[in-house]
Amino acid sequence: MKIVTVIGARPQIIKAAALSRAIKSHYANEIQEIIVHTGQHYDENMSQVFFDELQIPRPDHNLHVGSASHGVQTARMTEGIEALLLKERPDFIVLYGDTNSTLAGAVAAAKIHVPIVHIEAGLRSFNKSMPEEINRIVCDHCSTLLFTPTKAGLENLKREGFPIDNADPYTIDNPKVYHCGDIMYDNSLHFADIAEEKTDIIQRMELANKPFILATIHRDSNTDHPERLSAVFSALMRLSMECQVVLPLHPRTSKLLKTNLKEDLQAQIFNSQSIHLIPPVSFLEMIALERHAQLVMTDSGGVQKEAYFFKKPCIILRPETEWVEIVQTGNAILADADESRITQAWQHFKGNPPTTFPEIFGDGHAAEFMLEKMLKGAKKSIRGEIFFA
């Protein structure tokens, strides 16, 4: 079986590590993986660091699309991915999550009848002002095999009319939904101890045995709106009176802090002895920080889940989340970009740190499960359906 895996943004590169690792350990003779990097993320610490650290094979192709508006970026990727699919003629294209790289892969593949495997299918925020929501819906509805990591994801797909007990052969018009674990959980389990051994960020930043909040902020709905970004940073200033704050800054946020925060707030943040603004860290460093943090505060999808994996309370800086289970279990609070809700959530978790984290993300072997299903699908000659224009 030959698959083309499309990656582009940081979380997709990290997710791809789990699938590539499973192919190498269990299916090296059966599966050929061609990796296409769209180039959506390109800074060394947003891309290359993960290949080096997580032993992901070097991409076979890099489209170098870089940053641009949604339409321009997606169009450039779509053109490049289509050409590569025509060249490589894979059994499946594998797409992760919800980024513009995912959308481009879905549109390119569906139109030339390359069956799509969507990993992280079915997640919904029910907020179509998010580019990610559009990307998820389009990709799911063009997919042949949909792997959903949560029960909520499965329910969403059922509600949208996806069949559940249908027989093969599976096609874009007869798609198959599988409920399985989360591929990010595979990675967190695999790398947790390796991170302790191989990183020294906790020692370097003198955080050992010190309570600290780990924060990340990068959603356009927060960074691009001065009032929302100011509310988040004002809350961080307040929390930093009680606890150190470590904030690895996404490049989007670094750029917009300077234009979207008032000068006095900027000065307070940059001069604070308790707020540590640092460049994006590697994945191993990130999971070391997550494991040692007292609490996580984030608008990231991946980071809110990792907080849960490492049994940390999480304040979600969004009005809603696709990962509803972590809120329903009481381990995360939706505080939006609202200074008083953020500080209330902090007070709540300080007084009542959560202790129960039910297993909702599988057993850490989601990648193997998915590869088995793909192999089965390929044997049932899904590939016979492919039409190359």
Which of these segments, 120-128, 245-253, 267-275, 285-293, binds ligand UD1 (CB under 6 A)?
Answer: 245-253
The option from ligand UD1, ligand UDP, none interacting with 46 (CB < 5 to 8 A, set by class) reads: ligand UD1
The CA distances from residue 238 to 211, 217, 343, 347, in Å, are 15, 17, 8, 12
3-class secondary structure, 174: strand
CB 31 within 8 A of CB 1: yes
Residue written as token pair 């802090």: 257
* Phi/psi at 74 (5° precision): -65, -40
**Binding pattern to ligand UDP, positions 10-29, x when CB under 6 A?**
xx--x---------------
Asked if 84 touches ligand UDP (CB under 6 A), the answer is no
280, amino acid identity: P
Asked if 103 touches ligand UDP (CB under 6 A), the answer is no
Asked if 303 touches ligand UDP (CB under 6 A), the answer is yes
The residue within the footprint of ligand UD1, chosen from 53, 98, 140, 290 (CB under 6 A), is 98
Q: Quick one: angle between helices 10-26 and 183-198, nearest 10?
A: 90
- 147: tokens are 């792997």
CB 116 within 8 A of CB 110: yes
Asked if 286 touches ligand UDP (CB under 6 A), the answer is yes
| Distance (Å, whole) CA 55 – CA 13 | 11
Measured over the CA atoms of residue 190, residue 195, residue 197 and residue 198, the dihedral's sign is positive
Environment class of 58 (CB within 10 Å of its CB; exposed 0-12, middle 13-18, buried 19+): exposed
Binding-residue total with ligand UDP (CB under 6 A): 16
Q: Residue 148 CB, nearest distance to ligand UD1 (Å)?
A: 18
The option from ligand UDP, ligand UD1, none interacting with 131 (CB < 5 to 8 A, set by class) reads: ligand UD1
Asked if 258 touches ligand UD1 (CB under 6 A), the answer is no
The residue within the footprint of ligand UD1, chosen from 5, 20, 38, 40 (CB under 6 A), is 40
The residue within the footprint of ligand UD1, chosen from 67, 174, 259, 328 (CB under 6 A), is 67
* Phi/psi at 15 (5° precision): -60, -40
* Cβ nearer to ligand UDP, comparing 11 with 122: 11
Tell me which residue of 106, 163, 153 sits closest to 134, measured CA to CA.
106
Among positions 238-257, residues that touch ligand UDP (CB under 6 A) are 248
Which of these segments, 301-309, 319-327, 330-338, 340-348, binds ligand UDP (CB under 6 A)?
Answer: 301-309
DSSP at 62: E
Among positions 104-133, residues that touch ligand UD1 (CB under 6 A) are 131-132
3-class secondary structure, 79: helix
Which of these segments, 253-261, 277-285, 308-316, 370-378, binds ligand UDP (CB under 6 A)?
Answer: 277-285
* Cβ nearer to ligand UD1, comparing 131 with 330: 131
| Distance (Å, whole) CA 316 – CA 335 | 6
Asked if 185 touches ligand UDP (CB under 6 A), the answer is no
Q: Which of these is catalytic: 218, 225, 250, 292?
A: 218
* Cβ nearer to ligand UD1, comparing 134 with 375: 134
* Phi/psi at 340 (5° precision): -75, -35
- Count Cα atoms within 13 angstroms, Cβ side, for 373: 23
Asked if 100 touches ligand UD1 (CB under 6 A), the answer is yes
CA torsion angle 10 11 16 21 (round to 10)? 100
Residue 365 a catalytic site member: no
Point out the residues that are catalytic: 218
- Positions in the binding site for ligand UDP (CB under 6 A): 10-11, 14, 216, 218, 248, 280-283, 286, 300-303, 306
- Positions in the binding site for ligand UD1 (CB under 6 A): 9-11, 40-43, 46, 67, 98-100, 131-132, 218, 250-252, 255
